[in-house]
Amino acid sequence: MARMNGPTRGPTHGPAKGMTGRITRRSAGVALLGAAALAMLGSGAARAQDTVTLGAVLPLSGASATIGEDQRRGIELAVEKVNADGGVLGRKLAVAVEDSGGRAQSAIDAARKLVSVSKTPVVIGEYSSGNTIPVGQYLQREGIVHINPGSSSPAIKTIGDRSFSTIGLDDVAGKFTAQAVYGMGHRKAVFLAPNNAYGQGVYAETKAAFEALGGQIVANLLFTEGQSNYRRELQRIAAAKPDVIIYSGYGQEAATINREAFELGLSKTPWFGIYLSMCTADSRPETVEGQMGMEVNYVGPDGAWYRDAYKKKFGKEFATTFSGYTYDAVMMAAAAINKAGSAEPARIREALAALGDYAGATGPIAFDAQGQRKTQPYIVVSYKGGELKTAAK
Amino acid sequence: MLEFCLHVLIMSAIFGIAAVSLNLQAGTSGLLNFGQIALFGIGAYAVAILTRAGLPWPAALPAGMAAAALGGFAIGRLGRDLAAEYWALATLAVAELVRLVALNEDWLTGGPQGIGGIGGLFPGLDGMARALATLALAALLLLGTALVARRLGETQFGRVLRLMRENPDLATALGHDIVTCKVKVLAIGGAMAGLAGGLYTLYLAFIGPDQLLPFETFLIWTMVVLGGLGNVAGAVVGALLVTTLYAGIPFLKDVVALPSDLTGSLRVFAIGSIVLAVLMLKPQGLVPERLRRHHAQRP
């Protein structure tokens, strides 16, 4: 550190009074760069030797920040649990959490920081498929284990043999949605989802399954993200006069859509949200009252304890359904490290692949040959009086 | 740690090229290009598609530059009758158009999943050697770009560009063809931005439509404005500063030991306040444009 201090200090403190603006100008830039460099060095030195550190890249800011925060809570709970049970390899477990800002470039930077600075053998992340895929590909190239706790695009399968998912992908989700909507007696649907890796994937799967059952998707509106309003899309939906609006959207965007649909009187048509808690997380309650939807279950059939632990720690109900998946990701990584008797990425990968049936907070998890979660217990939920309730069968 | 620093330097060099390109357009010529990421993206996608088809990168990179130069040419022609502000808005629209094509033409661009698994630079080397070689290449190309931009600014053409920026009517009255100048500078700027985009793709081995969001254009603008609009060195300094800030601020929380739920907000807050502080203290940027005295002032 001392070595870095020299050149930083020189030009910053060097110029005496009355120096020209040019020197001061340069010193401001040098000081800023120096501060960043010092911060970088400091973090390396602070790493303790008696800890096994895993990494996580989550959207802690940006459009999906509500979900990212919930994912982080899952990690916090898991780390406490693992350490209360004696840690890993006789050492303490820690998870270094980095913010992706919901942006691919920052997500890759964060993954690089975890791999090359914190030397984490496992990186958990991200949430949007468009960020998870490049992060996963980078980790695959570096030989680091990747665990996806939140993206459901079928393209996740193609990342490679170092990549695992603790959440079911959309080929399973689309089929469940189609059956649920058809089962409610709806035949004529419109589909509204973001035009990205997630939206296109889930649309293709839902459409195929819904039409195989005999239903019809009369309009497909894959919208551009980040618009200030969605009236054009909503008016086209109104014109199509559907039985049901099947939709999905990330927190803040879904909130805009729901508010405008409410204002246009479109909320009288039944709405069916795919991952409903994601769609309603940031919406005003009156705009989404009565919406139905499918959800990955917050917890598996034997996971009531997880709900209690979450409530006890954070003093509220789950904000989204996504915290359990990061919890399971950390727990499975810890189990794999203990099983392998080593924190080497290659050994952890082998142990993860051979973990067999794992009893997670989100239900039983088993990986298929591509490292993806084989079965995913979904539920039908409805939004009533400010919270999600499991719909009566 | 060293590896991460190299990564930051490589990204700085790549964005430095994009910033020098934008500085040539906006700083020297006064063309408010809010679609810079489109030129970057055309280069990036061209290189990705060509290397995927089996072309080696030394051949794909110039092809990407040519494609982006063509894109710049088209944007320049497109707005030839528009006033500066309207043209600026049109460039924003063009950038979104390019992104939407990338998002929807699956057969060519891989759609929302983008193109991954690109061969990349120096596949023969590994680890540190590869990072060093990449940095050397990127730095060399940045130097070349900066020298071209600087030399261009000193020529008669450069003087006409500055006149066009200050007073387009006067430039026309003196017999300069504004449209030709505009198209030329956008084609040159396009080639530079395409080079940056191509390098970016080769280095990260991935390009997707999410990397072409308007936010990225404004990031490059931040670099140029912070560094000093109109100064080539300023663009490079700005790129280094902004890239380092984005990559370095996440380290602050490791040192200060903030709870990790503040991580996200800290980054947004820190970057916002630093940018604001620099702009308030140095409205002309860290390295302002220096006009030759007899250009700037009457004796």
Q: Residue B227 domain-assigned? A: no
DSSP A100-157: -TT-HHHHHHHHHHHHHTS--SEEEE-SSHHHHHHHHHHHHHHT-EEEESS---GGGG
Indicate which of B206, B242, B254 best probes the interface with A, i.e. most A CBs within 10 Å of its own CB. B254
Residue in the block written with tokens 């390899």: A89
Check residue B261 and give its pLDDT.
64
Q: Which domains are delineated in chain A?
A: 2-42 (no CATH), 51-168+301-375 (3.40.50.2300), 171-297+380-390 (3.40.50.2300)
Please name the residue of chain B whose CA is at the shortest distance from the CA of residue A71: B261
Q: Residue B160: inside a domain, yes or no?
A: yes
Q: A177-211, pLDDT tens digit by residue? A: 999 999 999 999 999 999 887 888 889 889 999 99
CB contact under 8 A, A33 and B263: no
Check residue B140 and give its pLDDT: 97
Q: Tell me: the pLDDT tens digits for A285-310?
A: 889 988 999 987 777 777 889 999 99
Q: Give the pLDDT of residue B165.
A: 92
Is the confidence at residue B265, as pLDDT, over 80? no
pLDDT band at residue B299, thresholds of 50, 70 and 90? very low
Q: How confident is the model at residue B295 (pLDDT cuts 50, 70, 90)?
A: low
Q: How far is A363 from chain B (nearest CA, A)?
A: 27
Any chain A CB within 8 A of the CB of B270?
no
Q: What mean pLDDT do residues A32-55 have?
A: 62
Three-state SS for A185?
coil
- Joined together, the tokens standing for residue B64 give 């990407």
By C-alpha distance, the chain B residue nearest A194 is: B112
B272 touches chain A (CB under 8 A): no
Asked if residue B182 is part of any domain, the answer here is yes
Structure tokens at B201: 């793709």
- Band (A356; pLDDT cuts 50, 70, 90): confident
DSSP B192: H
CA atoms within 13 A of residue A111's CA, in its CB half-sphere: 31
Residues in chain A closer than 8 A to B206 (CB atoms): 108, 133-134, 137-138
pLDDT at B297 over 60: no
d(CA A33, CA B258): 21
The pLDDT score that the predictor gives to residue B293 is 53
**A31: Cα separation from own chain's centroid:** 36
- The fraction of chain B above a pLDDT of 70, given in percent, is 96
Helical axes B2-22 vs B178-204, angle rounded to 10°: 160
Q: Confidence class of residue B33 from pLDDT cuts 50, 70 and 90? A: very high
Q: Is pLDDT of A29 > 70?
A: no
Residue B93 and residue A224 in contact, taking contact as beta carbons nearer than 8 Å: no
Q: Smallest Cβ distance to B264: which of A33, A61, A105? A: A61
The confidence score (pLDDT) of residue B274 equals 85
Query: Where does chain A show beta strands of DSSP type E?
Result: 51-58, 92-99, 122-125, 145-148, 163-165, 188-194, 216-223, 244-247, 271-274, 292-296, 358-360, 363-365, 378-384, 387-390
* A37 pLDDT tier (thresholds 50, 70, 90): low
pLDDT value at residue B92: 94
pLDDT at A26 over 70: no
Residues of A whose CB is below 8 A from B215:
103
Cβ distance B244 to A33 less than 8 Å, yes or no, reads yes
Residues 6+ apart with CB under 8 A from B132: B6
Would you say residue B37 lies in a domain? Answer: yes
Is the minimum CB–CB distance between B208 and chain A shorter than 8 Å?
yes
CA distance B133 to B152: 28
B110–chain A Cβ distance below 8 A for any pair: no
Residue B44 pLDDT level (bands cut at 50, 70, 90): very high
Chain centroid, CA B279 distance in Å: 20
Average pLDDT score over residue span B153-170: 92
Give the pLDDT of residue A175.
87
Show the tokens assigned to B53.
């088809």
Show the tokens assigned to B152.
């261009």
Assign A330 to helix, strand or coil. helix
Q: What confidence score (pLDDT) does residue A49 get?
A: 65
DSSP-derived letter for residue B24 is I
One-letter amino acid of A197: A
* pLDDT band per the 50, 70, 90 thresholds, residue B124: confident
- Predicted confidence at residue A32, as pLDDT, reads 57
What's phi and psi for A218, nearest 5 deg?
-80, -20
Specify whether the CB–CB gap between B200 and B207 falls below 8 A: yes
Lookup: tokens for A114: 């975890």
Interface test with B, best of A30, A113, A128, A195 (most B CBs within 10 A): A113
Angle CA B219–B220–B221, to nearest 5: 90
Predicted pLDDT at A277: 85
CB contact under 8 A, A106 and B246: yes
Q: What is the pLDDT of residue A227?
A: 85
Span A218-248, pLDDT tens digits? 999 999 888 888 999 999 999 989 999 999 9
Q: Binning pLDDT at 50, 70 and 90, where does residue A9 land? A: very low
A109/B11 CB distance under 8 A: yes
Question: Does residue B296 have a pLDDT over 60?
Answer: no
Is B230 domain-assigned? Answer: no
pLDDT of residue A154: 82
* Residue B51 belongs to a domain: yes
B103 at interface of A, judged by CB pairs closer than 8 A:
yes
Place of tokens 């808690």: A277
Q: Which two tokens stand for residue A129?
A: 């498929």
In a domain, B220, yes or no: no
Q: Whole domain around residue B6: which residue ranges?
A: 2-213
Q: Best mutation site among A109, A156, A169 for testing chain B: the one with the most B CBs within 10 Å? A: A109
SS (H, E, C) B108-174: HHCHHHCEECCCCCCCCCCHHHHHHHHHHHHHHHHHHHHHHHHHHHHCHHHHHHHHHHHCHHHHHHC
Question: B240 vs A228, B9, B128, B237, B277, CA distance in Å?
Answer: 32, 7, 21, 5, 17
- Between the alpha carbon of residue B230 and those of residues B150, B166, B183, B283, the distances in Å are 10, 12, 19, 13
Nearest to B112 among A109, A110, A197 (CB): A197
Label the pairing between strands A363-365 and A358-360.
antiparallel
Q: Across the A/B interface, how many CB contacts are shorter than 8 Å?
A: 149
Q: Bigger pLDDT: A44 or B259?
A: B259
**Threshold 0.90, pTM exceeds:** no
Q: How far is the C-alpha of A8 from the C-alpha of A27, rounded, in Å?
A: 9
In this complex, the residue of A29, A44, A113 whose CB is nearest that of residue B237 is A29
Chain B: nearest CA to A56, how far in angstroms?
11
Q: Chain A contact for B123, CB < 8 A?
A: no
In contact, A189 and A243? CB cutoff 8 Å: yes
In this prediction, residue A28 carries a pLDDT of 54
Q: What is the pLDDT of residue A346?
A: 95
Q: Is B139 on the interface with A (CB under 8 A)?
A: no
When divided into structural domains, chain B yields a total of 1
The answer to whether A328 and A166 have CB atoms below 8 angstroms apart is yes
Nearest beta carbon to residue B282 from set A25, A46, A116 = A25
Higher pLDDT, A194 or A28: A194
Whether residue B284 lies inside any domain: the answer is no
CB contact under 8 A, A101 and B267: yes
- CA separation, residue B183 to residues A21, A371, B42, B190 (Å): 37, 51, 17, 10
The yes-or-no verdict on residue A380 having pLDDT over 50 is yes
Q: To probe the interface with B, which of A40, A116, A161 has the most B CB atoms within 10 Å?
A: A40
B4, B209, B216: residue with CB nearest A116: B4
Tokens of B169: 């009517």
Chain A closest CA to B161's CA: distance in Å?
A: 26
Q: Is the pLDDT of residue B82 over 60?
A: yes
Closest CA to A329 of A67, A77, A49: A77
How high is the mean pLDDT of chain A? 85
pLDDT tens, residue by residue, B87-116: 999 999 999 999 999 988 888 998 888 888
Count Cα neighbours of A329 within 13 Å in the Cβ-side half-sphere: 36
Q: Which residue of B has its CA nearest to A96?
A: B260
What torsion do the CA atoms of A278, A279, A282, A288 make, to the nearest 10 degrees? -140
Chain A residues whose CB is inside 8 A of the B3 CB are 116
Selecting from B206, B249, B260 the residue whose C-beta is nearest the C-beta of A137 gives B206
Q: Structure tokens of A311?
A: 């409530």
State the Cα–Cα distance between residues A151 and A198, nearest whole angstrom: 8
Cα–Cα distance between A349 and A354 in angstroms, integer? Answer: 9
- Mean pLDDT is lowest, of A6-10, B160-164, B257-261, for A6-10
The two structure tokens encoding residue B44: 């990036």
More confident residue, B190 or A386: B190
Q: What is the pLDDT of residue A6?
A: 37
Q: Which residue has the tokens 């058809």?
A: A182
Q: List beta partners, residue A272.
A: A246, A292
Q: What's the CA gap between A166 and B34, in Å, rounded? A: 40
Give the closest-approach CA distance of B214 to chain A in angstroms. Answer: 10
Tokens found for residue B111? 């759609």
How far is it, in rounded angstroms, from Cα B208 to Cα B113? 6
Q: DSSP letter at B25?
A: I
Residues in chain A with CB shorter than 8 Å from the CB of B237 are 29
Q: Are A196 and A166 in contact (CB under 8 A)?
A: no
Residue B187's nearest CA partner among B28, B20, B73 is B73
Contact B210 A131 (CB under 8 A): yes
CB of B44 less than 8 A from some CB of A? no
Digit-coded pLDDT (tens) for B188-244: 999 999 999 999 999 988 898 888 988 899 999 999 999 999 999 999 999 999 999
Q: How far is Cα of residue B98 from the mean position of the Cα atoms in its chain?
A: 16
At A8, give phi and psi (nearest 5°).
-70, -45
Per the DSSP assignment, residues forming a β-bridge with A217 are A189
Separation CA A204–CA A207 (nearest Å): 5
pLDDT at A261 (0 to 100):
92
Min Cα–Cα distance to chain B from A184, Å: 32
Please enumerate in sequence order all residues whose Cβ is within 8 A of that of A242, keeping only pairs 6 or more positions apart, or say none. Answer: A188, A189, A190, A218, A219, A269
Residue found under tokens 């200090």: A9
Does B215 contact A at CB distance below 8 Å? Answer: yes
Tell which residue, B135, B118, B143, has the closest CA to residue B4.
B135
Distance from CA of B103 to the nearest CA of A (A): 7
Q: Which residues of B touch A105 (CB under 8 A)?
A: 211, 216
> Which residue of B116, B216, B255 is in closest CB contact with A133?
B116
So what's the pLDDT on residue A317? 85
Q: What is the pLDDT of residue A7?
A: 38
